[in-house]
Amino acid sequence: MIKIEDLDLVTREKLLYNGNAELKRGFIYGLSARNGSGKTTLLRTIAGIRSETKGSIYYISNHEIYSLPELKRKLFYYESSEWFDPNLTGFDYLTFIQREWSNKNACIDDVVDYWEMNQYIKIPIKTYSLGMKQRVLLGLYEVSGAEYWLMDEPTIGLDTNSIEKFEKLLAREKGKNKAILFSSHQDDRIYKVCDYIYELGNGSLVMREASQKGENR
């Protein structure tokens, strides 16, 4: 599992004091907060692409403790479709991530079929709509094969059909013992797929069972 202890999050303002959290494999976690509360900042910090001066984030496996850099390739975070180079194709990204994450089990064709991307996956991303890019982004998580998925507003730009596919994907990956933490806007109905929800706000990070508010039913 990933464990977060006594973490402060500071940007222009202090977003979190002494935050504690755990991400266990086989569970889906939502991250809920008002705009500007620090969801993206927290995800970036867990992913290790920004650091904090106070607090620790580490990974425990078989009673051994590992630091975040050692977690490399076990975790996948691709924040936004804005990160894509518009001159490359979706297929370029899928093959690159599969290779870099050394996931020989991933079948890119299956991912392309699942997200109905056959018509466009080999043309440049600059021709894609937001929903088309977002489906590529979700496909990257699958081809990475990573155990821990951190996702920032994964349903952005998706139509109803794709949101249903996303829900099915989460259920499937949970069954494969993945740990998934994703953010969305507050009270989004997508939280119904979660086991637990972390609520970030007013400097604290509080976990509750998703069923407490009617989700996950």
Ligand X SMILES: Nc1ncnc2c1ncn2[C@@H]1O[C@H](COP(=O)(O)OP(=O)(O)OP(=O)(O)O)[C@@H](O)[C@H]1O
Task: Say if residues 183 and 43 touch (Cβ distance below 8 Å).
Answer: yes
Q: Which is nearer to ligand X, 12 or 217 (CB)?
A: 12
Stretch that binds ligand X, among 37-45, 55-63, 79-87, 174-182 (CB under 6 A): 37-45
Residue 20 or 41 having the CB closest to ligand X? 41
Q: Are 45 and 66 in contact (CB under 8 A)?
A: no
Q: Is 39 in the site for ligand X (CB under 6 A)?
A: yes
Residue 63 touching ligand X (CB under 6 A): no
What's the gap between Cα 194 and its chain centre?
A: 13
Mark the segment that binds ligand X (CB under 6 A) among 7-15, 56-64, 94-102, 109-117.
Answer: 7-15
Q: Is residue 134 close enough to count as binding ligand X by CB under 6 A?
A: no
Report, in Å, the least distance between residue 79 CB and ligand X. 10
Among 3, 17, 24, 41, binds ligand X (CB under 6 A): 41
Which range in 16-24, 38-46, 93-101, 111-119 contacts ligand X by CB under 6 A? 38-46
46 binds ligand X (CB under 6 A): no
Among 4, 19, 30, 38, which residue sits at the site for ligand X (rule: CB under 6 A)? Answer: 38
Q: Which stretch binds ligand X (CB under 6 A): 8-16, 18-26, 95-103, 157-165?
A: 8-16
Binds ligand X (CB under 6 A): choice among 28, 30, 37, 193: 37
Q: What is the DSSP string of the chain?
A: -EEEEEEEEESSSEEEEEEEEEE-TT-EEEEEE-TTSSHHHHHHHHHTSS--SS-EEEEEETTEEEEGGGGTTTEEE---GGGS-TTSBHHHHHHHHHHHTT-TT--HHHHHHHTT-TTTTTSBGGG--HHHHHHHHHHHHHHH--SEEEEESTTTT--HHHHHHHHHHHHHHHHTT-EEEEEEETT-GGGGG-SEEEEEETBEEEEEEGGGGT---
User: At closest approach, how far in Å is the CB of 182 from ligand X?
Assistant: 12
Residues lying near ligand X in the complex (CB under 6 A) are found at 11-12, 15, 33, 35-41
